[in-house]
Amino acid sequence: MSEIVNHLIHQQSSHCETGVVANMLSSKGFAMSEPMAFGLASALTFAYLPFVKIGGLPLIAYRMPPKTIIKTVAKKLNIELITRKFSNPQKGMQALDQALEEGHIVGLQTSVYWLPYFPEDMRFHFNAHNLTVYGKNAQGDYLISDPVFEEVVTCSPESLQRARFAKGALAPKGLMYILGKVPEKIDLAPQIYKSLKKTAKMMNGLPVPGVPFFGVKGIRYLAKKISELENKPSKYARLYLGHIVRMQEEIGTGGAGFRFIFASFLDEASKLTGDSELFELSQFTTEIGDQWRAFAVQAVLFCKDRKSISLQDISAVLIKCAEMEKQLQSRLLSLSAFK
Tell me which amino acid residue 172 is: P
Nearest to other proteins of 6, 248 (CB atom):
248
Q: Is 223 exposed, middle or buried (0-12, 13-18, 19+ CB in 10 A)?
A: buried
Q: If binding is defined by CB under 8 A, does position 284 make contact with other proteins?
A: no
71 belongs to the binding site for other proteins (CB under 8 A):
no
Residue range at the interface with other proteins (CB under 8 A); choices 22-30, 51-59, 176-184, 203-211: 51-59
How far apart, in whole angstroms, are the C-alpha atoms of residue 19 and residue 29?
A: 15
Nearer residue to other proteins within complex by CB, 162 or 306: 162
∠ CA 150-261-257, nearest 5°, is 75
For other proteins, the closer of residues 71 and 125 by Cβ is 125
- Residues 6 or more apart from 19 whose CB is under 8 A from it? 11, 12, 13, 34, 130, 147, 148
Binding residues with other proteins: total (CB under 8 A) = 56
Shortest Cβ 267–other proteins spacing (Å): 5
C-beta of 212 vs 289, nearer to other proteins: 289
Strand partners, 136: 4, 142
Q: Which is nearer to other proteins, 99 or 268 (CB)?
A: 268
End-to-end CA distance of the chain: 61
Shortest approach of other proteins to residue 184 CB, angstroms?
27
- Which residue's CB is nearer to other proteins, number 225 or number 238? 238
Scanning 12-20, 88-96, 129-137, 309-317 for contacts with other proteins by CB under 8 A, the matching segment is 12-20
Q: Determine contact, residues 40/177, Cβ cutoff 8 Å.
A: no
* Identified binder of other proteins from the candidate list 140, 168, 180, 190, rule CB under 8 A: 168
Per-residue mark of binding to other proteins, 104-123 (x: CB under 8 A): ---------xx----xxxxx
Measured from the CB atom, the residue of 13 and 145 that comes closer to other proteins is: 13
Does position 129 interact with other proteins (CB under 8 A)? The reply is no
Site residues (CB under 8 A) for other proteins, limited to 200-259: 238-239, 242-243, 245-246, 249-250, 253, 256-257
* Cβ–Cβ < 8 Å for 129, 137: no
Which x/- pattern, by CB under 8 A, does the window 259-278 give for other proteins? -xx-xx--xx--x-------
Q: Which is nearer to other proteins, 99 or 275 (CB)?
A: 275
C-alpha–C-alpha distance, residues 196 and 333, integer Å: 8
List contacts with other proteins (CB under 8 A): 12-14, 34-35, 53, 55-56, 113-114, 119-125, 148-150, 162, 166-169, 171, 238-239, 242-243, 245-246, 249-250, 253, 256-257, 260-261, 263-264, 267-268, 271, 282-283, 286, 289-290, 293, 296-297, 299-300, 303-304
